[in-house]
Amino acid sequence: MNTDWFYDFPFKIPIDLGAIDNAVRTFSAKYDSFFNVIRSGLNGFVNSIYNILNFIPWFVLILFIITAGWKLSKKVSTGILYGALLFLIGVAGLWTLMNETLSIIIASVIISLLLGFPLGIVISTSDRADRIMRPILDTMQTMPVFVYLIPAMLFFGLGKPPAVIATTIYAIVPTIRLTNHGIRQIDREVIEASLAFGSTRLQSLVKVQIPQALPTIMAGVNQTLMMAISMVVTTSMIGATGLGMEVLIGVNRVEIGRGLISGTAVVIIAIILDRITQGFVQQSEVKTDGQ
Amino acid sequence: MRRVTGLLLLVCLITSIMIGCSGEISGNKEIAFADAQWDSNKFHNAVAGIIAEKVYGYSWREVPGSTTVLHEGLLTGEVDVHMEVWTDNLATYNDDLAAGRLKELSINFDDNYQGIYVPRYVIEGDDERGIKPLAPDLRYIWDLKDYPDIFPDDENEGMGRIYGSIPGWEVDEILHRKYLHYGLDDNFIYFRPGSDAALATAITSAYDKGEPIAAYYWEPTWLLGMYDMVLLEDEPFDEDTYMEGETELPAVKVTIAASNNFTENNPEIVEFLSKYETSSQLTSEALAHMQETGDDYVETAKWFLRENEELLDKWLNSEDANTMKEYLNK
């Protein structure tokens, strides 16, 4: 019995993959000057953050982290623990590599906030925009990274600029989602009350809705930061230097020690940044509760 | 409703089991090729595979894995044939061979070059594309020192960029030593592209735009088969100092190896594979053809054998060679 029709699709659409390749490549060659502007802009941005980080003496940064940890957790011991962990990165000889990695992370997070926060607010005001954006955001989070890394490399070359772009695409999503969510979950009565007392829509947004939504928004910022850190090793595969590259070299050469040490440094950065931003989340919660 | 769904699921389960059981049990004449996941390896698998299929009636499949995993597979007999053993990359290969844990059938090719390449238009220009020769006197690796502005690094003003090898490859360390040895660190950055895909993209994108680039690459690859790149010359190879980066890199002996078990039980295939020999040049051409046409490995293998029919006469006896030619020209 011929059961081919059972398992084979009735017809296949021939997809011309070569045409897609060529289109992307000619596009990148044609608008080279445009992409060069973005590339050098991003380069300058990352480099200036890197220079600022390098300008700060190591003990100043450690002291800052100790005080921040202490103030936010109300415990001196916590602050000292964070400081000691950061000190470990320094004595392991990874300080400048950490600064390099941090400059990429910070650049991506700043861009994510600049774009994601307004976008989240826009989506929160319109159900249609929300419906359109949701699948786009899903795509951004689940599309395998290398699928868009390759075009990013064609457009922006190798190194830090495509790393920042790839990190932003991946990490911007929680900022947008949680800003949207935070504003949407506010009681209608609160907004109505603010409008009834004569505030304009803009005043209501800035003075009532955003402060109300702040804890949720801060949670989004925290998630964005964590996701940016999780991209560190992936972006080293397109030539972004820093701790990620150390991990990659260690893993590729089966130098377990090297991978472990630099991997631990990434974890330390993640933990410190997570706890500090979480501290901000709690503080903003306390504030809004007090109002 | 629930009962109906359950019944449907049961029916599905039973039919799938029945269909599964009625499937033909394939004969034991099967070759498991090692698939180290790069193009040239898959291509040689396809070439040897279709010959084994059409001439000797074997079926073939591929076992994917990393270099070391596949080598272990050869030793234990889970992999039958490895068409491309890069012997220099396997620390234990020579010991295992001497101890008789696997058989080397032939040398697939040993004329493969690797090193720092630049597009030919950088040196000679390209009238058709309107590219002027930017570095007409570039010939040796150390000549790069005179041209940091032609190969600029975006991240460091005033420095040039050499795209090095993939982190973790032995050659990456050798190249880095070479970069220091020739004093290129004065005005060049040794840039690690991070992955094979990234390195290939950097080169293709520069080539498409007609921009200069100095990058590590190796043969046989579709990239060097397709693009006209010039290997920068170096001091002649010397066994004692090449690891320090002081001379050019040696060609790696790429062999065909088979497991002991397979060698004993399949004399025909072993005889054919013992004569199997190509070259890096031929392989690169085939891979470039595959890249251009978008054909799969099997189609490319057929194209390759049609283009190079004399290989069949070398590898097979005249009767089998004719069978194969008839099949190819059908």
Rounded to an integer, the average pLDDT of A224-234 is: 92
pLDDT at A289 over 60: no
Closest CB to B205: pick one of A28, A239, A249: A28
pLDDT of residue B19: 56
Give residue-wise pLDDT tens across range A87-110. 999 999 999 999 999 999 999 999
Give residue-wise pLDDT tens across range A174-186. 999 999 999 999 8
Position B22 in a domain? no
The last residue of a domain, from among B195, B217, B244: B244
Position B124 in a domain? yes
How far apart are the CA of B117 and the nearest CA of chain A, in angstroms? Answer: 17
Residue A242 touches partner B, C-beta closer than 8 Å:
no
| Alpha-carbon gap, residue A33 to A286, rounded angstroms | 49
pLDDT of residue B23: 41
Is residue B206 within 8 A of residue B92, CB to CB? The reply is: no
Position B171 in a domain? yes
Q: Are residues B68 and B177 in the same domain?
A: no
Number of domains in chain B: 2
Position B82 in a domain? yes
CB contact under 8 A, B195 and A238: yes
Q: Are residues B94 and B187 in the same domain?
A: no
Q: Are residues B212 and B129 in the same domain?
A: yes
Contact list in A for residue B197 (CB cut-off 8 A) is 146, 149-150, 237
| Alpha-carbon gap, residue A113 to A229, rounded angstroms | 15
Closest CB to B193: pick one of A39, A160, A239: A239
CA proximity to B226, closest of B286, B280, B294, B164: B286
| Alpha-carbon gap, residue A60 to A69, rounded angstroms | 14
The last residue of a domain, from among B213, B244, B275: B244
Chain A residue whose CA is closest to B207: A29
pLDDT of residue A272: 93
Contact list in B for residue A248 (CB cut-off 8 A) is 167-168, 194
CB contact under 8 A, B205 and A157: yes
CA proximity to B47, closest of B308, B267, B317: B308
Measured in degrees and rounded to the nearest 5, phi and psi for residue B36 equal: -80, 10
The CATH number given to whatever domain includes residue B164 is: 3.40.190.100
| Alpha-carbon gap, residue A105 to A277, rounded angstroms | 14
Rounded to an integer, the average pLDDT of B296-310 is: 91
Position B11 in a domain? no
The more confidently predicted of residues B90 and B309 is: B309
CA proximity to B190, closest of B116, B113, B120: B116
CB contact under 8 A, A159 and B197: no
pLDDT at A82 over 60: yes
Contact list in B for residue A146 (CB cut-off 8 A) is 197
Give residue-wise pLDDT tens across range B223-237. 888 888 999 988 888
- If you average pLDDT over every residue of chain B, what do you get? 86
Q: Are residues B154 and B167 in the same domain?
A: yes
How far apart are the CA of B69 and the nearest CA of chain A, in angstroms? Answer: 14
Whole-angstrom CA distances from A136 to A16, A123, A132 are: 24, 12, 7
Give residue-wise pLDDT tens across range B19-78. 555 444 444 688 999 988 788 899 999 999 999 998 998 999 998 877 777 888 888 888
CB contact under 8 A, B193 and A238: yes
Write out the DSSP string of A93-145.
T-HHHHHHHHHHHHHHHHHHHHHHHHHHHHHHH-HHHHHHHHHHHHHHHHS-H
Whole-angstrom CA distances from B219 to B44, B86, B164, B298, B304 are: 14, 12, 15, 21, 17
Rounded to an integer, the average pLDDT of B224-253 is: 86
Position B8 in a domain? no
Contact list in A for residue B195 (CB cut-off 8 A) is 237-238
pLDDT of residue B22: 46
Position B185 in a domain? yes
Q: Are residues B132 and B182 in the same domain?
A: yes
Residue A159 touches partner B, C-beta closer than 8 Å:
yes
pLDDT of residue B250: 83
Q: Are residues B238 and B273 in the same domain?
A: no
pLDDT of residue A287: 65
- If you average pLDDT over every residue of chain A, what do you get? 88
Q: What is the ipTM of this complex?
A: 0.72
The more confidently predicted of residues B188 and A283 is: B188
Look up the domain containing B77 and give its range: 28-110+252-328
Is residue B99 within 8 A of residue B78, CB to CB? The reply is: no
Position B2 in a domain? no
pLDDT of residue B24: 41
Q: Are residues B106 and B118 in the same domain?
A: no
Residue A145 touches partner B, C-beta closer than 8 Å:
no
CB contact under 8 A, A158 and B169: no
Give residue-wise pLDDT tens across range A256-281. 888 899 999 999 999 999 998 888 88
Contact list in A for residue B204 (CB cut-off 8 A) is 25, 154
pLDDT of residue B96: 87
Helix/strand/coil for B25? coil
The last residue of a domain, from among B193, B222, B244: B244
pLDDT of residue B1: 60
| Alpha-carbon gap, residue B90 to B101, rounded angstroms | 14
Q: Which domains does chain A have, with CATH numbers?
A: 20-55+92-290 (1.10.3720.10)
pLDDT at A120 over 60: yes
How far apart are the CA of A158 and the nearest CA of chain B, in angstroms? Answer: 7
pLDDT of residue A1: 56
pLDDT of residue A283: 79
What percentage of chain B has pLDDT greater than the value 70? 94
Give residue-wise pLDDT tens across range A123-150. 998 899 999 999 999 998 888 888 888 8
pLDDT of residue A285: 74
Q: Are residues B140 and B235 in the same domain?
A: yes
The CATH number given to whatever domain includes residue B98 is: 3.40.190.10
Helix/strand/coil for A147? helix
**Confidence category of residue A25, pLDDT binned at 50, 70, 90:** confident
DSSP A245: H
Least confident of A76-85, A113-122, B14-23: B14-23
Q: Are residues B232 and B276 in the same domain?
A: no
pLDDT of residue A17: 81
Q: Are residues B147 and B261 in the same domain?
A: no
Q: Are residues B140 and B210 in the same domain?
A: yes
How far apart are the CA of B76 and the nearest CA of chain A, in angstroms? Answer: 23
- Verdict on whether the full-model pTM lies above 0.80: no
Q: Are residues B203 and B281 in the same domain?
A: no
- Report the relative pairing of strands B81-86 and B254-259 from DSSP bridges: antiparallel
CB contact under 8 A, A150 and B169: no
